[in-house]
Every structure is written in C-alpha cells, then in structure tokens.
Structure 1
Amino acid sequence: MVDWATRPASAADVEAVAELRAVVLRADLERLGRYDEQRVRRRLRDGFDPAHTRVIEVGGAFAGCVALRPAGDAHWLEHFYLSPHLHGGGIGSAVLRELLDRCDRDGTRVRLNVLRGSAARRLYERHGFTPEKEDAVDVFMVREPAGAALGSRG
C-alpha cells in the first residue's frame, strides 16, 4: 500500500471533491438510471461541510475524501470517495479503519448509505456494517461501536 495521509478539508476543496464524486459514482448511478452530470456535482456542493471532512492525500496530492458528521444517536459516514486508480490498494480500508477506531474509542454508532449494487458495500460489510433498510436506490447501513453490548445502544 502506498503512503497516505489525511488533512482537514477547506471550502476550496469542494470542486475537486465534486468532480471525484461524479467519476466514482457514475457507473453505479447509470446502472440505477439516476446519473445526471450536473445533479451529481450539485448534491455534493449542497452537502459539503469542510468542518467534518478530511481530504485524503497520496504523495501530497488530492486522492479522495471522507466525512464523519455527528447527527443524533450516531455519526454519518458520508462523501467517502477515493480516486479509482487507488481502489483495491488498501487505502480505503485503512482510512475507514482509522475513523472507526476513533468511533469505537468514543462509543459512537456509525451510519451510512451506499448505492444498491455498489462494490463499496462489501468494504463496509468487512468493517462491521450491517443493512438497516433499503429503498430503490440506497442501502442504509449501521455499525455499532466495537465492544458495545448488543441492544445497549438502542
């Protein structure tokens, strides 16, 4: 695996993240009949919050991002995108493991949604996420903090 690091996001990162989102989600959105070149970028811009977002860098260059937003009884894992040429190299797993370790230490449940049929679902399942519900487009998943007693958080 190549060396990677994260840094806090800034408002200046929004366009790079919006473009990466369009690239990463295109095949799944097209398969679901939901791809719109403008909407895919606009939805990111509308929901981008640098305060809860980390930019992933490889060799000092932009390679992706991930957000962990507090909300109610959990944190939402959002906008987790990695440049396609880096998929399968272990960076996504390492970034996710780092975030989840922090949530485990804090005793925090994590939720996310992933597009139906997306290969990313397997990554999330390997890290302990289980489906809660799904609709025609998304699968909503949850992960209890490691060490939490079953039924104690809900």
Structure 2
Amino acid sequence: MHDLFYKHWGGWVSTEFRNGFVVENITMVIIAGKRAGYLSVIKEPTSIYIDNIQLSPARQGQGIGTKLLNRLLATYSKVSIRLTTFEDNPAKRLYERMGFVVVERNGMTVKMEKQPNEAVHRSC
C-alpha cells in the first residue's frame, strides 16, 4: 500500500493513519507465532466496513487475504460488507472475485460493497 499512497496521495500521512487507527477495531493476523498483518473492521448499524487489510509483503500472494475475507463473509453473511480501495490496487481483483462490486467512483478511489448472502438471508 505504501507505493499506492505515494502515487495517489503524494505520500504517507502519519497523523491521518493514527487518527483512523482504532484499537478496538483491529485484529492482528498471526502466522506461526509472528505478526503478519492486521485487519480493521468497523461494525456499523446495518453493515460492516472493512477499514483496512494490511499484510506484510512477505505474506502477500499466499492466500491469506482470501482466507481473511472468506472468514469475514461467513461471519457477517447477513449484512452488507463495504470497503474502499484504489482502482489500481491489485487486491481489487480479489474483492471482485469475492463478490464485491463497485458502487461509487471518486477519481482513483472506489467504494465496493458485497450484499448479504441471499441464500443465508432467506433462510433466517
């Protein structure tokens, strides 16, 4: 994400990151006893917002992001799940494969959403 932040925002803004970093929303990703990244999820009244998924570059491309998203989709299958990403973020393809669709574009930033799983939603 570092390269994308520089490309689109001109650099990393530590104060913005710190302001948005709410400990209560954070789940650390631990693999083999070592920190591999983190996931930040904001629970809203009618949806879940994936605020941030960060994986160590050494752990990217190993299916970890897919596993994290699958777990979130299973846990929150009855509500909409939203996120924001850059149009050119390689992870956008993963989000699309997982059923997220672009609902809003703002320059190179896109808001994506996955609606509740209809089969689960109907059976409840």
TM-score clears 0.5 = yes
Is the Cα contact below 8 Å between 2:88 and 2:108 reproduced in 1? no
Work out the CA distance in 2 between the residues paired with 1:101 and 1:128.
13
- List alignment gaps of at least 5 residues for structure 1: 1-24
How many residues of Structure 1 are paired with residues of Structure 2 in the alignment?
Answer: 121
Residue of structure 1 equivalent to 2:37 = 64
Deviation (angstroms), 1:30: 2.8
**2:23 equivalent to 1:47:** no
Residue of structure 2 equivalent to 1:3 = none
Q: Aligned AA for 2:62? A: G
Structure with bigger RCO (C-alpha 8 Å, 6+ apart): 1
Moved over 4 A (4+): none
Residue of structure 2 equivalent to 1:35 = 10
Query: Of residues 67, 73, 81 in structure 2, which corresponds to 1:100?
Result: 73
**2:60 equivalent to 1:87:** yes
TM-score relative to the length of structure 2:
0.88
Cα distance change, pair 131–148 in 1 and its aligned pair in 2 (3 A) = farther
Cα distance per residue 1:65-109 (max 9 Å; x no partner): 1122122431100111001111110111001110110011xx111
Residue of structure 1 equivalent to 2:49 = 76
Q: Aligned AA for 2:98? A: H
Cα distance per residue 1:36-87 (max 9 Å; x no partner): 23x1x32221011221221001111111111221224311001110011111
Work out the CA distance in 2 between the residues paired with 1:139 and 1:54.
24
**2:115 equivalent to 1:140:** no
**2:113 equivalent to 1:120:** no
Cα distance change, pair 67–148 in 1 and its aligned pair in 2 (3 A) = farther
- List alignment gaps of at least 5 residues for structure 2: none
What is the Cα-based RMSD across aligned positions, in Å?
Answer: 1.8
TM-score relative to the length of structure 1:
0.72
Is the Cα contact below 8 Å between 1:26 and 1:35 reproduced in 2? no
Identity %: 25
